[in-house]
Structure 1
């Protein structure tokens, strides 16, 4: 008797032991020893000053490492971003100046904490004017089975202060959201809130055009009440310059007729204003790299009238008041550039710092 092929196959499958059919055979994946699993570490820093930082280590993935580092840094009061992420067996080191934390900072990653510290120290010295950074913190991943890999390092993105004459200036706009003592600064998220703080003379900050995506490039805009708040806007070792210190800076760069070009950055300054005037881009030979970071108008005209300026009107606060309503700042004007003039304390302006 002949049995068809289909019937024969059906009989074979029917008498196979349960759970052992060909379609159900699977190979179990080989277990990876715990010692060989890759671990991740990260460092977060408030880039505007280096005063606040947070570490993570031995995390299971990149996202968790960065999340924990940011949480630690933000808990300390900083406006923090990730500056270093790495995986595998290795150590990260961070250096600052102990008695003046925030004036210089640097980090590094290597197979040992000693090698990482050597890198961190060199980076900090670039930003300290030669002052030895004595504060040292470090952390290491423990897993020995993977290869050390630097995933992200922001060191090339961070510029140090510049010395002009007898002054040392920061080269980026201030970007802190807390005072020196850790108290939060009021954040005005939109024009309505900026009007509110203007009328109430409340210390506050906002972003250029109330758009937080402008933070990384332009920092924050502060009103004069935040600048002079007794809790301290600048980190230890720095201060908001007086109007006289701005004038000293202009003189050190050759005076009004030539200083402007040296102070302005290489782009953005060729945008024309409402009078069809443009300053023209600078050569940044001073290293200050002043950007067209704009300003925010407050309640200076009374009646609740408020507005925001375009980026071609860029101001930097001094710490000097003229009277109860007006204070001095640095700006660039088509009649005189740069100049130190006065305007309403409710205006939102960028802030640069000078070393104590």
Structure 2
């Protein structure tokens, strides 16, 4: 963090007082902190407070140009390593999502190419309003990062989600964003598969698994951030589309197979995280199967092993697979790597706490043809994705 220029944008909410602590901690860690306040923010805390804590002048008025050699908002926009908007009110999210620039902060944000971290704070009903949620989705699609507001007692008296996250947690997110260093995949095309498949028994019932797609979606997002043209073939999950990623939605293993075959020829890297069903029903009823008798027997047949078929068609592709295991992690993973022609395989023991389906963390070991390459402790799936993208970059670029 030392020497990094961090611009903290402060908008008008009661959580402004908490941002004073954040600015103080950023400054103590050696960051060059510049604060921009909206006019309404100055009604809660004076600019002098942030000037004292940051040891830099505080900007409020777009037209107050103190240095004639530069245009202030362009200079701040060009030289920022990171923007932090805290607290971010519903009003300011709306302005930013619609490209409005009527004050110093919104004008500077439109001019910057630096990453932006947003910490919303507002009443729970305001946060859940469709307009606010649409604005958050739009900003997320553009690449803005959000740190979720916390739940608890709100200043208005309500109890619910809407409290700005504590400065310590925002600081962790800042350190994580400043520490990100992804390889350059510009001009490369990456294909990622994610999520489960559904193998239908009738129009209502299907066989599936617990995959949520979180890992695959995190990898697709990281690849897009690294500059790759990223295509995500996704089974049915309840997740937002990663910014800058083209998503192909499928349901069944057969649909995923055909989608992958259609997309793979132009891909340079193929990362297969999807939990594809190994078996599918032989007979699918076109009507709901009625309950009768104490037992029901199902006849299943093997689905096409997509990773094997991709391996057979390997033609300069860099192939990465995933192995979710419950025992003999190393042996099973390396067997799959050789059998399926993979360059890397990412294995996790789903019986370990923090490494299974549905969670936000993972514990993985990565192997190549010579054995173990990298073992990662429990960390967020987003961080695992960045580590994996970094490793792929090293291998793919020789």
Higher CA-based Rg? 1
- TM class by shorter chain equals under 0.3
In terms of fraction of residues, the more helix-rich structure is: 2
TM-score (norm 2): 0.25
Larger RCO of the pair (alpha carbons < 8 Å, separation 6+): 1
TM-score (norm 1): 0.27
